[in-house]
Amino acid sequence: METRTIECDILVLGGGLGGVAAAVRAARLGYRVCLTEENPWIGGQATSQGVAALDEHPHIEHFGGTALYGEFRAGIRAFYRRKYKLKNPDDPHFNPGAGWVSALCFEPRAGLTSLLSLVVPQVEAGRLMLFYRARASAAHVQGQSIRTVDVIQDGGTHVLRFTPTYVLDATELGDLLPLLPVPYVSGAESRDQTGEPHARAEGPAPHLTQSFTCPFAVDFCPGQDHTIPRPPNYERHRDQQPYTLTLQYARGLRTYRFFETAGDLPGSFWAYRRLLCADQFAEGQVPRDVVLINWQGNDYTSGTLIDVPPAEQAQQIAAAKELSLGLLYWLQTEVPRDDGGHGYPELRLRPDIMGTADGFSQYPYIRESRRIEARKTIVEQEVAAPHQPHARAAPFSDSVGVGWYAIDIHGQATDVVYTAPTKPFQIPLGALVSRNLDNLLAACKNIGTTHITNGCYRLHPVEWNIGEAAGALAAFCLGQQRTPADVCSIAALRRQYQQTLLAAGVPLYWYEDVPLGHPAFAAVQMLAVEGIWPGCADHLRFDPDALADEPDEHLRAAGLSSDLAGRDPITRGDLACRIAQRLG
């Protein structure tokens, strides 16, 4: 077997959203980056895993994501403006699928195209090398550092031996971690381990990871019959899963209608994760809607893909596909029709949407990974709304980003199914940094969360932010000739690193009214993170254009003279800029 040795500054294993963000950010900062991806497409949950309906928060169009993530979103919209005639081409918030669960629903290929527009310029500039169908197979550790990582490519016919300075694990399942001689975390922790109210009272269960799903896409062809053959074990899956449009919410059971909106529900089953809405395109451009089926009915809860032999992994994925195929058959034959009767045989499987022969996503939709033993582990009480009475979640002075999503746990059959609101939260630097190795960083869903808090840190924009922060951290450490542990423990270094993140358009603190392009953005963010001028406990605003009614108070908090404010009235934004400039 041929072995090729490749030297690089930063090796990013896994080309999902976190991996792409890490690689692009580090390459833009001028470092030599190698990026590997197991699948034919980069993009992870937004592309190869089929979930091209971004799980975001209500502020995402103007705040709460990085500038680079904004480029990714803008690229998706640009894809449709180039390819189609739109009824409203000037709509800045155009949502191709008009799905009600997300502000941006699209075909996976559109997401892939946007990601490639970020990656290809770095490849052409010679800063980034991209390796497809590549999976980590071995690692050599000397002392406290990873020295080499072996990656098998093309099914094992080639071995790539990387000799990086920093290694970022952005694989979907944390596949590097079991190759290293250090502990890692998986599954559900116990209450004794984390102190979380909703952790397991019975003790840890490493096998209880969140369920995974094999999504698929369909369209609706009036007057046609596309009913598939009855899948194996259909009746068992139908009754045990069960296949249903009735879901349990905090306010009780609610039943969705297929095409129509029922009662107090936000929309129909059809529009939930719709990827293409034909009505938004000029006549003849898009013949019919295309809908993603990622529903409770095809959540596979009977096993895990973590720490099981490859043959068992393949068996579990095959079983998950069988479950999803059963859901399609139920929708075609038994689901209650809005107009009476049962089943919509007009539903047609669309393999072209996923880029596969069988119509399923190229890789299962993964909700939970192995996790590093991090310098900081985020726990439920720090983010869950019942434990955080103010507008924001617990503050982290080492913040490297922000996110907001409910704790959403799709548990296995014997696990808790838990959903809880959160407050807008931060991503602490310590959660990305290994407790055991000097040059290992987590760059996706494998950071220092618990089984519980992974439920809100696993979503698209948060994973992206994690990866981008990890890529920027590796680059910063290379430039400063320091380690991530140094950045965690030395306040001046941490502050300098955070300033590089702000300069790159990475928000660190929740202020919904100070967007990335605002003149006071970096100043307001840094003062808040350092606790010099924290946000109001009652809302997410800074009100930068309002007059500063107590300037002396903020100047004293910064250890500065009241003369800095001057005699004339000054806005809060301008005062923040003066304070930040004086502090340096």
DSSP state, residue 278: G
* 156 pLDDT more than 90: no
* 250 pLDDT more than 90: no
Q: How far apart are CA 157 and CA 535, in angstroms?
A: 55
Q: Which residue has the tokens 């400039």?
A: 581
Beta-carbon contacts of 33 under 8 Å, excluding residues fewer than 6 positions away, are 8, 9, 10, 11, 12, 23, 26, 27, 122, 127, 128, 129, 471
Q: What pLDDT does 566 receive? A: 84
Mean confidence (pLDDT) of the chain? 97
Question: Mind giving me the DSSP string for 527-541?
Answer: HHHTTSSPPPTT-S-
Q: What pLDDT does 561 receive? A: 87
| Three-state SS at 272 | helix
564, with CB counted inside 10 A (0-12, 13-18, 19+), is middle
Q: How far apart are CA 61 and CA 64, in angstroms?
A: 8
- Contact status, residue 27 vs residue 33, Cβ threshold 8 Å: yes
Cis-peptide, bond into residue 242, ω within 30° of zero: yes
Alpha helix (H) residue ranges in 29-154? 67-83, 108-124
* 530 pLDDT more than 90: yes
Gyration radius of the chain's alpha carbons: 24
Q: What pLDDT does 70 receive? A: 99
Domain 2-81+108-186+399-503 CATH assignment equals 3.50.50.60: yes
Q: What pLDDT does 414 receive? A: 78
Give ∠ CA 76-82-87 in degrees, rounded to 5: 90
For residue range 203-241, list pLDDT tens digits in order: 999 999 999 999 999 999 999 999 999 999 999 999 999
- Distance of alpha carbon 342 from the chain centroid: 37
Indicate the pLDDT class of residue 564, thresholds 50, 70 and 90.
confident
* 251 pLDDT more than 90: no
For residue range 357-366, list pLDDT tens digits in order: 999 999 999 9
Indicate the pLDDT class of residue 437, thresholds 50, 70 and 90.
very high
Domain ranges in the chain are 2-81+108-186+399-503, 212-354, 521-583
Q: How far is CA 552 from CA 56, 519, 545, 556, in A?
A: 38, 22, 18, 6
* 417 pLDDT more than 90: no
- Contact status, residue 264 vs residue 257, Cβ threshold 8 Å: no
| Three-state SS at 420 | strand
* 416 pLDDT more than 80: no
Q: What pLDDT does 413 receive? A: 76
* Lowest mean pLDDT, pick from 86-95, 149-158, 303-312, 537-546: 149-158
- Contact status, residue 363 vs residue 172, Cβ threshold 8 Å: yes
Backbone dihedral region for residue 366 (phi beyond 0: left; psi -120 to 50: alpha; all else: beta): beta
Q: Which residue has the tokens 């089929």?
A: 50
- Contact status, residue 339 vs residue 422, Cβ threshold 8 Å: no
Q: Which residue has the tokens 């423990």?
A: 489
Nearest to 417 by CA among 447, 455, 365: 455
360, with CB counted inside 10 A (0-12, 13-18, 19+), is buried
Measured between alpha carbons, how far apart are the two ends of the chain, in Å?
55
